[in-house]
Amino acid sequence: MKSADATFALALCGITFLLTVIWGGPLLTILRRFKIGKQIRIDGPQAHLTKLGTPTMGGVLIVAPVLAITAFLNVAGLLRGKFAGRSMLLPVAVLLLFTALGAYDDLLGLGGIRRGEGMRGRQIFLVQTLIAFLAAVGLYFVLGVLYLFLIGREILHGPEAAHG
């Protein structure tokens, strides 16, 4: 990564953080006012009672600024004649899928069949694994990413990389 790219990425992170801090308080006030909070089972552990009424749907605090800045910068890029391309769409799609999963879980917890509980842990894990698998397939077949690194060490490489 070039120094300018790293500086740009850090600036985006800082702007996103500031937006989250600025609108976080008003959003939490709205969530509390409409009583959009955790429902706790009375028969559960007593320690969980402290969570009663804790606002839920907080992922919106982070996702909304990230999507807004991404959209703004891509529109600005298009106006300058630069298109970020497909490589930007996959992370945004993964973000939206995980956000939808979290929102669905929160909504179930607020008023679904299992009120106060949301989805079961194994259901969430299964959907998260499916999203990760689809992202990996997209990286390999759509974006042509042939290497996978974990903590700076190559752990997987595609067939073209091995023979090329």
Q: Which of 26, 44, 46, 42 is nearest to 34 (CA)?
A: 26
**Distance of alpha carbon 132 from alpha carbon 138, whole angstroms:** 10
* pTM summary value: 0.70
Q: What is the residue extent of each domain of the chain? A: 3-119
Burial label for 109, CB within 10 Å (0-12, 13-18, 19+), is: buried
- Give the pLDDT confidence of 64-120 residue by residue, as tens digits: 888 888 888 777 766 777 666 667 788 889 999 999 999 898 888 777 665 567 788
- Give the pLDDT confidence of 105-154 residue by residue, as tens digits: 888 877 766 556 778 889 999 999 999 989 988 888 888 887 767 666 76
Alpha-carbon distance values, 120 to 45, 50, 96, 124, 127 (Å): 17, 21, 20, 6, 11
- Give the pLDDT confidence of 3-57 residue by residue, as tens digits: 666 777 787 788 888 888 888 888 878 877 877 766 555 555 555 555 555 667 7
